[in-house]
Amino acid sequence: MVQGRLASLTLLLVLTGVLWFSAEAFKKTGVLRIRRIPGLDAIDELVGRVTEMGRPMAFVLGGTALEAQGFASMRILDYVASQSAKYDARLFVVAPLPEMEPMCQEIMRAAYLREGKVEEYNPSDVLYMPGDGSKAGVLGLYQREKVAGAMLFGNYYYESMLFAEAANLAGASQIGGTANYHQLPFFVASCDYTLISEEIFAAGTYLSKEPTEVGGLTAGEVGKALAVVLMIIGSLLATFGNDSISTLLTK
Amino acid sequence: MKRQGPVLVAFVTGVIVLAGYFFNSQTVVDMSTQIVRWQNIVAAFALALGGVNMFRLHGKNIIGRKKNWVYSCIFMVAFVSYFVLGVAKSTTSAEYQYIWQNLYQPAASTMYSFTLFYMTSACWRAFRIRNWQAAVLMVTGAVVLLGQVGIGAAISEAIPAVSAWIIDTPNAAAIRAITIGGSLGMVVMSIRVILGLERTYMAGRQD
């Protein structure tokens, strides 16, 4: 065992266990209490808005590497693509990574297939825009296509400000979401709704209410509760000169 | 098998890489290092796939004389010529670097500089006092901004001190809360991907 990683391994195993058991429990009871997330409720509003206006919307994924935020964002894309297909709203998807592009294509195609409109799916609406080229590309897309709605989700860096503000200037309603705390102020300033940090991971559960999604959300909440309890106990003990919690976490 | 194959690969590689992080066993660490190397190779193939897709998309635009097809022609010429130059003379050659430094970099820097103007217009809207929350945001933002520049200290010695307190105390607390929540979300999402419970990326909904 590598020194200092016992606590991480224990947490990982606990979270996996909680995920599994709460998914099983949800299968039996079907009971889920989850607070309202206005940013996710607004997705349907946004799709309705672009449909009424007869203008397209853009779903722009952020990312320099495919990681957890990318997967969570694609989960949201799955829902947005279904809604777009259902209401015949045109949806442009911007994938910043080459490996994301075929995934987005598959998600879009499957969404149109589910709605029985696969012949209406246009693969050219999924755009691969890598690196710095994506910045000019997305700004151009907003202006050329006159998008009425934009959704920005994923691992964003400085481009959050560019994309969000440019969509705002193009007159688009926006929903943004990232777990990168340094970009959240930009989304808050420019977007109509912002999903803050773990809310993008909760989106799958909120939108689908499938058992394993519920398990994942419960595991995250248990992890947070555990962190708060450890912080409170650790702070109290440290105040009295006892560092047993910090020693335990570094084992 | 189309679905099970990728799930199995994700599970096996994920477990090995995790084991390599937690355990000292040389065999496991070697396997984990090797898988991380493979990831770079797979990513390089994905990059080639991305290039091919762009080629196909712009090719269709040109053949079909679709809207803005002229831009697709410019893309094709730039793509092919720069690719050929890179392969023929290497990416470290003076010609290749000249184009990179004098064409691409200024364009990229220009895009980056747009951020300043967009930030100003976003601040203008965010700082408008429409309710008490916006007022708190405006006052806090003004104090922090003034605390970062010399004029703040010239107005009052208290401004840099208050600015530092805002950054070090409530701001740091909020950042850490967001980071903990986000990190746990990432851990759980990664567990779901490794266990094959998250399949959206393969256009497969969960069971």
User: What ipTM was estimated for this complex?
Assistant: 0.87
Q: Rg for chain B (alpha carbons), in Å?
A: 26
Strands A126-128 and A149-154: unpaired
Assigned domain for B134 exists? yes
Shared domain check, A245 and A165: no
pLDDT per residue as tens digits for the range A4-42: 899 999 999 999 999 998 888 888 887 777 888 888 889
- Give the phi and the psi of residue B117 in degrees, each rounded to 5: -70, -40
Q: How far apart are CA A106 and CA A93, in angstroms?
A: 12
B191 pLDDT band (50/70/90 cuts)? very high
- Dmax (CA) for chain A in angstroms is 69
Assigned domain for B86 exists? no
Say whether pLDDT at A144 is over 50. yes
Specify the CATH number for the domain of residue A141.
3.40.50.720
CB-CB under 8 Å, A98 with B47:
yes
Q: How far apart are CA A217 and CA A206, in angstroms?
A: 9
Q: Which of B105, B115, B118 would best serve as a mutation to test chain A binding (most A beta carbons within 10 A)?
A: B118
b (16+ CB within 10 A) / e for B33-48: eeeeeeeeeeeeebee
Assigned domain for A135 exists? yes
CB-CB under 8 Å, A200 with B186:
no
B205 pLDDT band (50/70/90 cuts)? low
Assigned domain for B140 exists? yes
Shared domain check, A155 and A136: yes
Assigned domain for A10 exists? yes
Structure tokens at A37: 């997330």
Q: How far apart are CA A197 and CA B12, in angstroms?
A: 29
Total structural domains in chain B?
1
A102 pLDDT band (50/70/90 cuts)? confident
Say whether pLDDT at A65 is over 50. yes
> Is-contact B164 A191, C-beta < 8 A?
no
Shared domain check, A214 and A189: no
Shared domain check, A17 and A112: no
Q: Rg for chain A (alpha carbons), in Å?
A: 20
Structure tokens at B11: 């599970």
- A-contacting residues in B 35-64 (Cβ below 8 Å): 43, 46-51, 53-54, 57, 60
Assigned domain for B52 exists? no
Shared domain check, A175 and A160: yes
> Is-contact A246 A234, C-beta < 8 A?
yes
Say whether pLDDT at B51 is over 50. yes
CA distances from A134 to A56, A104, A128, B149, B204 (A): 19, 16, 8, 34, 28
CB-CB under 8 Å, A69 with B119:
no
Shared domain check, A128 and A92: yes
Q: How far apart are CA A196 and CA A188, in angstroms?
A: 9
> What phi-psi label fits residue B201: left (phi over 0), alpha (psi between -120 and 50 degrees) or beta?
alpha
Q: Which of A15, A127, A135 would best serve as a mutation to test chain B binding (most B beta carbons within 10 A)?
A: A135
B204 pLDDT band (50/70/90 cuts)? low
Q: How far apart are CA A52 and CA A215, in angstroms?
A: 37
Shared domain check, A147 and A59: yes
Give the domain extent around B172: 127-193
Shared domain check, A217 and A188: no
Assigned domain for B150 exists? yes
Shared domain check, A227 and A188: no
Structure tokens at A244: 């047993």
What's the one-letter identity of residue B43? A
Assigned domain for A1 exists? no
What 3-state DSSP class applies to B160? Answer: helix
> Is A109 at the interface with chain B, CB within 8 A?
yes
CB-CB under 8 Å, B178 with A197:
yes
Which pLDDT value is given to residue B131? 83
Sheet with A193-196, side-by-side order of all strands: A126-128, A91-95, A57-62, A149-154, A173-178, A193-196
Assigned domain for B187 exists? yes
> Is-contact B207 B22, C-beta < 8 A?
no
Q: How far is B22 from chain A (nearest CA, A)?
A: 6
Residue A128: burial class (beta carbons within 10 Å; 0-12, 13-18, 19+): buried
For the segment A61-68, the average pLDDT, to the nearest whole number, is 86
B126 CB neighbours in chain A (<8 A) are 188-189
Shared domain check, A123 and A42: yes
pLDDT per residue as tens digits for the range A127-136: 988 877 778 8
Give the domain extent around A213: 6-32+209-249
Shared domain check, A169 and A60: yes
For the segment A118-135, the average pLDDT, to the nearest whole number, is 86
Q: How far apart are CA B187 and CA B178, in angstroms?
A: 14
Q: Comparing C-alpha atoms, which of A114, A182, A118, A175 is closest to residue A149?
A: A175
A180 pLDDT band (50/70/90 cuts)? very high
Assigned domain for B30 exists? no
Q: How far is B150 from chain A (nearest CA, A)?
A: 24
Assigned domain for A82 exists? yes
b (16+ CB within 10 A) / e for A145-155: bebbbbbbbbb
Which pLDDT value is given to residue B207? 44
- For residue A145, give the H/E element and its range: helix A133-145
What is the average pLDDT value for chain B, to the nearest integer? 89
Shared domain check, A120 and A59: yes
Total structural domains in chain A?
2
Assigned domain for B169 exists? yes
Q: What percent of chain A has pLDDT above 70? A: 100
